[in-house]
Amino acid sequence: MIIKLKYCRLLLLMALLCLGKSTWAQETPAGNSKQPLELSWHELSPPEDMEMVRKYEAGEITAKEAIAYVVELGKTPVKSLDNVRVRLPGYLVPLNLNKDQSATELLLVPTLGACIHVPPPPPNQTIFIRYPKGIKVTEAGYTAYWIEGVIKVEKTESAYTDVLYTMSPQSIVEFE
């Protein structure tokens, strides 16, 4: 039991430290530049509150309070990313399939298999993709792609997961 508790605390501390590593997004100007801003997934989450991390490390807050903080952080978008042209890698999860096995609505997630595990990634770690021309997704969830387009801070709810960002990409290409 003690080992399990220490393992849970270690995982929680790692989550607190990994979410929101960067503060660049608060200083990024909105708008469309000629070159897309290449994002990492942690940049879709706001910076963590270092005081919360300190309190957790010092044992001043419970694991339950720390988990509640991490969950709330995952429900918070980086508003300065609204209407910014970006490029980021991820895995596509089809939400609809046409007769030709192409999808026009998808989720972009950061990790392989994120479409099948529970719980799903936090809302600020999932992007709802609208791609009217459709993309064949025979390797859905197993092939990484580069997605480029204007990201919008827009809450979308579905039966699968809540999402805080949407995108109608200009391009979707396999990751190389």
Which tens digits make up the pLDDT trace of 41-82?
Answer: 999 999 999 999 999 999 999 999 999 999 999 999 999 999
Last residue within a domain, chosen from 30, 61, 80: 80
Query: Phi and psi dihedrals of 37, rounded to 5?
Result: -80, 120
Do 107 and 126 share a domain, yes or no? Answer: yes
Residue that finishes a domain, picked among 80, 95, 113: 80
Residues 72 and 94 in one domain: no
Asked whether residue 101 falls in the same domain as residue 156, the answer is yes
pTM: 0.78
Using the 3D structure, point to which of 58, 80, 102 is the last residue of a domain: 80
Q: How many domains does the chain have?
A: 2
CA angle 112, 17, 56 (to 5 degrees): 130
CATH code, domain carrying 166 = 2.40.50.870
Residues 164 and 86 in one domain: yes
Angle between helices 2-18 and 63-74 (to 10 degrees): 30
Kindly state the percentage of the chain with pLDDT values over 90.
Answer: 58
Is it the case that residue 38 has pLDDT exceeding 50? yes
Look at residues 43, 141, 140, 145 and name the one whose alpha carbon lies nearest to residue 84.
43
